[in-house]
Structure 1
Amino acid sequence: MTREMLPPGVAIVSDSPLQRRRLQDAVGKFGLDSRFTGDPGRLLAQPAIPDVELWLVTLEDEADHPALFDFLLENTDAPILFGVDIAPAPGTTDASRWERRLLDKLEQQLGMLEQLDSATTLEALDQPGEPATRRERPTWIPLGKTDEPAEEVWILGASLGGPAAVKTFLDHLPPGLPVGFIYAQHIDGNFTEVLTRVLGRHADYNLRRAEPGHRVRNGDVVLLPVENEWFLDEGGRLQEKGTPWPGPYGPSIDQVLLNVADHYRDRCHAILFSGMGNDGAIAAPLLHAYGSRIWVQNSDSCGNSSMPDSVRATGCTSFVGDPAQLARKLMQTLEEACLLKRKQDRDTA
């Protein structure tokens, strides 16, 4: 691999082993290469200074290491980011927000970091392959009429590697389930039409771009645009705000979760698929508190597992699986809910 193809390299210098480890984990989520991680003494003892694009330096007491700053200023031209906030415990909302602040600082120095699927990657999904193993809709699950608003909505959140995972998930669902989907995918806006064509060609679900005033119907997979924020009004209709999504990437999966759950509450659930970063980790615990189901794609089947792993670390997930397993779990969950409702109706009759 040539130097141009390598991810940006960073050096992490801290006198706290715990902070070094948390910083190393965090920069790895953003696709960066930790080429040096150690305390000031180890750095000063190096035979050659690491070749990196950025230095991250966080010290409990800068006065304890007077030689470090002179050493760095004399030996490197790479930017030096001093005083990074102390990292909170992993899996907490504070940790997710800390990672977002760190990402902002990194991108101020290195430019946009998250990798997105290219047009070539998306077109590759359109190639002939083995047919998906679809199942018939279980008889206990009532037919979801496609002209009726969905009573239950599942948010599909994804980034790098997400289109392939979401396509597999949809291809393993039988037609006619009484649910609708809202799809939040980090992607270059120029590739939206390609994504819509590729994912909509083989699945039994109606992939469509969001339109103002539309209510999510059974069988819908509504793709949210990357430019401006969308929400649901009091009647459950999609509406566009005149402002961009918060955060560095659109659509913001955290904001999608919050906006949809604000209307659907415990009838809004989420599946987080492959992706870099930690989008979704802030809002997922809030949905979990409503009683929503939060599922994630397992690490082994992800193109990049940082995003689902971050959500899983919050402790709010109730199922982990590959895309096909997630599809089967959804059918099982719907069937169990329908059987329970039948029993309750029979008991009250």
Structure 2
Amino acid sequence: MTIKVLVVDDSALIRQLLGEIIRQAPGMELVGTAQDAYVAREMVNAHAPDVITLDIEMPKVDGLTFLDRLMKARPTPVLMISTLTEAGAEATLRALELGAVDYIAKPKIGVAQGIEEYRNLILDKIRTCARAKVKRVDKPVSAPPPSNLSLSTEKLIAIGASTGGTEAIKEVLIRLPANSPAVLITQHMPPGFTTTYAKRLDGLCAMRVAEAKDGERVLPGHAYLAPGSLHMVIEKSGADYRIKLLDTERVSGHKPSVDVMFQSLAKVAGRNLVAMLLTGMGKDGAEGLAEIHRQGAFTLAQDEQSCVVFGMPKEAIRLGAAAEVLPIDRIAPRVIEQLRKLGAGSRL
């Protein structure tokens, strides 16, 4: 199937570059380019594109406003073209909340080195977007009041995710109580974005959420997000768990890698762990979740219907790594139920 792509960007140079990349790609068709939201709206109606690449900063109507209207009227997979700045990260996270599937940095015009890598990356992301599930975005449903749990330093929750994961992780965390066992999170994101994302979650959740720091002790009531471009592993120090950040090679094509975090937890947490693999492209985390499952810990995978991209959970299910497969809105209640069972027993 040919993927019909519409490029929306106020920069003529960016439109030209992205247009050429798409025109030359097998299995893709450039249906048009638009310099603003008004032209884009007409092209969406005329061509019904399968994927839209969308700039955030545009004249007349900004990209976020256009995206909001698009997802309410005609849900379409959107790939945001973002600047890798703090402001760009904040706007991109807002775009993901509004229903965008993924994002990519703006290409550096005139920099020949790395353009081929950029070409491959953006084409991969367009193909991912074409396979993604997008839904009409309505008023967000507020989370129910979270149930209290007994404070516990030995129990842990681990979450791995990629494409679509920023919203899926939020859906889990906002349903966990302030005194939940510590949550360790690896989400595929670039540097800077993880800092902004952690701050955003911290303002929404009962738990404290922060970007993880090397050497810090893992405490109940806190969620720790792996920083962009660093692997996060968990080590045991006496009765405590501590975070170690590693600047080593990519694993499963990613840094941070879910597999790296999961495999470290399988060694030190054993049955005191509840781990889950959420929406994402590829298979990072599937092998790690399988290892956690073999250690007797409780494991979950997000179901296909609620995933934006059913890649990572699908691979975990194929490996028999998930004890249960649930829609995203049922995962946190099930985690709380399982943790109560663990808390009712003796220390493991």
Task: Place the TM-score, normalised by the shorter chain, in its bin.
Answer: 0.5 to 0.7
Pairing 1:1-349 to 2, within 5 Å after superposition:
1-2=4-5, 9=26, 111-112=120-121, 115=125, 129-137=140-148, 141-142=149-150, 144=151, 150-177=153-180, 179-235=181-237, 236-341=241-346
Query: Offset of 1:341 from its aligned partner?
Result: 4.5
Quick one: which amino acid aligns to residue 230 of structure 1?
M
Q: Structure 2 unaligned runs (5+)?
A: 8-18, 29-115, 129-137
Identity across the alignment (%): 23
CA 1:320/1:233 → structure 2, altered by over 3 Å: closer, same or farther? closer
Checking the alignment, whether the CA contact within 8 Å between 1:134 and 1:171 is kept in structure 2 is no
**What stretches of structure 1 move > 6 A for 4+ residues in a row?**
3-7, 107-110
CA 1:114/1:268 → structure 2, altered by over 3 Å: closer, same or farther? farther
Quick one: which amino acid aligns to residue 266 of structure 2?
A
Partner of 2:97: none
Quick one: which amino acid aligns to residue 154 of structure 1?
I
Query: Offset of 1:129 from its aligned partner?
Result: 4.0
Residues of 1 paired with 2:340 and 2:155: CA distance? 14
Residues of 1 paired with 2:275 and 2:125: CA distance? 22
Residues of 1 paired with 2:165 and 2:300: CA distance? 14
Query: Offset of 1:305 from its aligned partner?
Result: 1.2
Higher RCO (Cα < 8 Å, 6 or more apart): 1
Please tell me whether Structure 1 or Structure 2 has the larger radius of gyration of its CA atoms.
1
Quick one: which amino acid aligns to residue 157 of structure 1?
G
TM-score of the superposition, structure 2-length normalised?
A: 0.59
CA 1:114/1:232 → structure 2, altered by over 3 Å: closer, same or farther? farther
Secondary structure, counterpart of 1:237 in structure 2: strand
Residues of 1 paired with 2:193 and 2:201: CA distance? 12
Residues of 1 paired with 2:157 and 2:26: CA distance? 37
TM-score of the superposition, structure 1-length normalised?
A: 0.58
Query: Offset of 1:337 from its aligned partner?
Result: 2.8
CA 1:270/1:169 → structure 2, altered by over 3 Å: closer, same or farther? same
Quick one: which amino acid aligns to residue 300 of structure 1?
Q
Secondary structure, counterpart of 1:300 in structure 2: coil
For the aligned residues, what is the CA RMSD? 3.3
Residues of 1 paired with 2:275 and 2:124: CA distance? 22
- For residues 27-75 of structure 1, what are the alpha-carbon distances to aligned partners after superposition, in whole Å with 9 as ceiling and x for unaligned? xxxxxxxxxxxxxxxxxxxxxxxxxxxxxxxxxxxxxxxxxxxxxxxxx
The alignment covers a number of residue pairs equal to 231
Checking the alignment, whether the CA contact within 8 Å between 1:136 and 1:175 is kept in structure 2 is no
Residues of 1 paired with 2:147 and 2:291: CA distance? 34
Q: Structure 1 unaligned runs (5+)?
A: 12-106, 118-126, 343-349
Residues of 2 paired with 1:110 and 1:301: CA distance? 30
Query: Offset of 1:338 from its aligned partner?
Result: 3.1
CA 1:286/1:9 → structure 2, altered by over 3 Å: closer, same or farther? farther
Query: Offset of 1:264 from its aligned partner?
Result: 1.7
- For residues 199-255 of structure 1, what are the alpha-carbon distances to aligned partners after superposition, in whole Å with 9 as ceiling and x for unaligned? 111111111111122121101110011213332344132122342442322211111
Query: Offset of 1:3 from its aligned partner?
Result: 6.7
Residues of 2 paired with 1:130 and 1:162: CA distance? 17
